[in-house]
Copies of this chain bind each other. A is one copy, B any other.
Amino acid sequence: MAKKNKRVRPAARLPKGFRDIEAAELRATQAMLAAIRETYERYGFEGLETPAFEYTDALGKFLPDSDRPNEGVFSLQDEDERWMSLRYDLTAPLARYVAENYDKLPKPFRRFATGTVWRNEKPGPGRFRQFTQFDADTVGTQSVAADAEICMLAADTMEALGIGRGEYQIRVNSRKVLDGVLEGIGIDPADAGGAKRLTILRAVDKLDRLGAEGVSLLLGGGRKDESGDFTSGAGLEADAISRVLSFVEAGAEKGTDTLNAIAALVENSETGREGVAELRQMQELFEAAGYADERVRIDPSIVRGLDYYTGPVFEAELTFEVNDEKGRPVRFGSVGGGGRYDDLVARFTGQSVPATGFSIGVSRLQAALAALGRVETNAASGPVVVLVMDRSELPRYQRMAGDLRAAGVRAEMYLGTSGMKAQMKYADKRGAPCVIIQGSDERESGEVQIKDLIEGAKAAQSIADNKEWKESRPAQVSVPEADLVEEVKKIIARHC
């Protein structure tokens, strides 16, 4: 029997591509989400939480890098044999929600959402199958004032998180202008079900990583990468390639210069002209609101990988440098993006409902804040630990912990059965700012010892001699039990 039990014992391990998030990271994430939420609410966006599951047909197939049906999605059959899938983003569920509740919603409808999404992809280092997104979308208006607002919201959000002006930039382009460029080189956006257009867009999207030369190859015959893998190209002629490149490289210092340059490139396309007019209107709003400085900028190299965008597209880029895996300095890059998508609700209702939105990749943004050293770490964030010197006095120690909590101090009584040394080790591991010690001597004289662990650790570095250490008892004070709470508060205040 014992042997059998042993055989069937499960291994304690997570499924591949999933991870646990522990206290310090979780606390930083919570603080970050709260700051984003506060900013979004200030802009009038309202929270919405949709469930993890949607019917598979309602979710649709809009994954950025997945062309085959169901690829990339976790799906299962419900008891009535209908397929359900875990959401892979927060946009598809929003489209379903809007279609289902259209009549009762205020129009336009501004909603924000934060939540877990799942991708059934091959996991890799730093590549997880569950992560958190934070989205803001405005549904029900064609006005590009909505797009402009979302760009300014994105800028304010970066600053609310402590990313300084100049360390980020919101970059804006328009799919209509891009389509105008394609029209100019004789490509119908709908060719081959839009596949050719998408190949071109994705080639341009790699400008940052591959440079103009690499993109040229992907726009033309194809490109062999360092590992020898060949990616076939869009098959454009040299002239067409150079027109596409001159468009994506048309970004100038001043927004109006950029707009004039791209206007010249699409002047023969109605779609292109419409796109330029929309960007001009957005630029005017950025200028009026004072965001046309280093915060928001028209940039023709911004494309975004998703097929469904129909108008302005935007990307939040972090412009500071970090070292890549080989130690070379690289720009941190994108932490979020979005754009206008006017056809997602029409999938359900047949009626076009214009919409625009922006999505933040939460863990990537958090990595950026960590790289900038902007993640709040509080040396005194662990709980005060009340040591148990005498197990028959548990109620007494419990009361001390209770008194500290009642005063708003994080505190706990040691709950294990080990001795003094192990308890001190435990307190260190917990990040306790101080420990409370009351042996029988102190109890009889109505006193407690408070040992400041942060101060103690500093003192330990400057005291070499063990004897000297024991005699000086650095950072340890004896106070009347009645003064416990007040003294502890002083110590914590000192380290905050």
Using CB atoms and an 8 Å cutoff, list the residues of chain A in contact with chain B.
6, 9-16, 18-23, 26-27, 30, 41-44, 46-55, 57-58, 60, 74-76, 78-79, 82, 84, 86, 96-97, 99-101, 106-108, 110-111, 116, 118, 120, 122, 130, 138, 140-143, 145-146, 148-149, 152, 156, 284-285, 287-290, 347-350, 383, 385, 394-396, 398-399, 402, 405, 408-413, 415-417, 426, 429-430
> Contact: B408 with A42, CB < 8 Å?
yes
Residues of chain B within 8 A (CB-CB) of A395 are 284-285, 287-289
Q: A9 with B412: in contact, given A26-B49, A51-B14, A106-B426 (CB under 8 Å)?
A: no
> Contact: A23 with B10, CB < 8 Å?
no
A231→B358 CA distance, assembly (Å): 54
Q: Tell me the interface secondary structure of chain A in the complex.
A: mixed
A120→B80 CA distance, assembly (Å): 12
The chain B residue with its CB closest to the CB of A93 is B20
Q: Which of B156, B290, B416 contacts A108 (CB 8 A)?
A: B416
The chain B residue with its CB closest to the CB of A16 is B78
> Contact: B78 with A417, CB < 8 Å?
no
Residues of chain B within 8 A (CB-CB) of A47 are 22-23, 26-27, 30
Residue of A12, A41, A142 with highest tally of chain B CB at under 10 A = A12
A79 to chain B, nearest CB (A): 8
> Contact: A76 with B74, CB < 8 Å?
yes
What's the number of copies of this chain in the assembled complex? 2
A15→B57 CA distance, assembly (Å): 11
Q: Which of B18, B100, B415 contacts A149 (CB 8 A)?
A: B415
> Contact: B415 with A12, CB < 8 Å?
no
A73 to chain B, nearest CB (A): 11
> Contact: A22 with B44, CB < 8 Å?
no
> Contact: A394 with B54, CB < 8 Å?
no
Residues of chain B within 8 A (CB-CB) of A79 are 120, 122
The chain B residue with its CB closest to the CB of A291 is B402
Q: Which of B74, B348, B396 contacts A11 (CB 8 A)?
A: B348
> Contact: A107 with B413, CB < 8 Å?
no
Q: Which of B23, B122, B140, B349 contacts A12 (CB 8 A)?
A: B349
> Contact: B100 with A14, CB < 8 Å?
yes
> Contact: A399 with B58, CB < 8 Å?
no
A139→B340 CA distance, assembly (Å): 49
Residues of chain B within 8 A (CB-CB) of A290 are 402
Q: A55 with B15: in contact, given A47-B23, A152-B402 (CB under 8 Å)?
A: yes
